[in-house]
Amino acid sequence: MTDARVAGVGLTHFGVHPERTSRDLFAEAGLAALDDAGVAREDVAAVHYGNFMGELSEHQGHQGPLVAEALGLDVPATRYESACASSGVALRRAVRDVRNGEADVVVVGGAERMNNLETAESTDALAIAADGLYEVRAGMTFPGAYALMAASYFEQFGGSREDLAHIAVKNHANAVDNDRAQYQQAITVADALESPPVAEPLHLYDACPVTDGASALVLVSESYADTHDVSAPVAVTGTGQGGDKMALQDRQNMATSPAATDAATEAYADAGVSADDVDVAEVHDCFTIAEVMATESLGFFDPGAGITAAREGVTTKDGRLPVNLSGGLKAKGHPVGATGTSQVAELTRLLRGDHVNSEHVADAQTAVAHNAGGTVASAVVHVLETVADTEADAA
């Protein structure tokens, strides 16, 4: 079985771009990834594309062929939908295609356009990732759902709003110099604590923004990298996916994420690593409490111990295990369908040493990306590792 190597990455600015279509955004990211990879366009065998709400935000389904055309490619193209984990699922499929020999070169990524909608409309559109019969009809939105999860966590394990504030402060600090981030400004713990409530105990700075943007990766087989002198020093060595009951009311414990635990267990086994081997991570912090639950599900902390990690400096940029050096969903932004592959793009640049925050993980060799859908009814985890670079070795 061949490695799936990351040969190229591309990202748009994450922010407010209501005038741009998702296909336009993806063209920018995809073409940047192809240029970064330096592969011949005719060698691309397939496009795997994540998008969540295209039918609602743009009245456009069947987006696979559209985005392939936007890249100037005439190849099989498939759109994947798994709520906020859409491009993470697309990446899982792309990795398998490369590994099993179906393709030597694939483009995988995602895009989302939401700011052309009014706030109420985007809220309604996002809500369809919850259970339509038992949650949406009752008025549930995701701030409310994650507030329930936060309250359950506090009741079971302890913690406070100040602990969550330290996560927001950390991720905003990480985004300050990231020119792809939606919010490049630092905040203080006081800013977070004094911000208006969204759904108690969550306040404004506990929530990610509504974001437009796109991300893309070019994956190549190990043999293709060798024979074409393609620089690809990072490989996706592990992939895993898990699932859980859709409605919170049907779960045994709202303060844990078994879907993410299952995905991580599978990904670690696939890569032959453990949580202790991980040097840096990008996790799905759509709300600050989500980062806590993600880091515990990934095995970085015991249940109940992740809540103080940011406050204690463990997950800060100079800590033992930096988390969300991109700024995370919290500050970098969350263009839903693009988030999963954007995490891998950021980690690839961190491991390659060409990210603005690479200095904080200069010796890193192993990274993990955690991408969740809804209230983590879906979860995808990928392990990235540095590998020998054929082009560099040849030089």
Cα(11)–Cα(14) distance, integer angstroms: 8
Q: Which of 181, 183, 215 is nearest to 345 (CA)?
A: 215
Q: Give the side-chain half-sphere CA count within 13 A for 27.
A: 13
Q: Please give the full DSSP string across 80-131, using - where no structure is assigned.
A: E-BTBTHHHHHHHHHHHHHHTTS-SEEEEEEEE--TTS-HHHHHHHHHTTS-
Q: Say how many C-beta atoms besides its own lie within 10 A of residue 101's C-beta.
A: 11
Q: Say how many C-beta atoms besides its own lie within 10 A of residue 180's C-beta.
A: 22
Q: What residues are labeled active site?
A: 84, 334
Cα(51)–Cα(49) distance, integer angstroms: 7
Are 339 and 87 within 8 A, CB to CB? yes
Cα(375)–Cα(65) distance, integer angstroms: 30
Helix, strand, coil % (nearest 5) of the chain? 40, 20, 40
Q: Which of 217, 332, 350 is nearest to 281 (CA)?
A: 350
Are 286 and 52 within 8 A, CB to CB? no
Cα(50)–Cα(11) distance, integer angstroms: 14
Assess whether the previous peptide bond of 76 is cis (omega < 30° from 0).
no
Task: Output the CA–CA distances (angstroms, integers) from residue 282 to 35, 193, 297, 383, in the order listed.
Answer: 24, 24, 13, 11
First vs last Cα of the chain: how many Å apart? 26
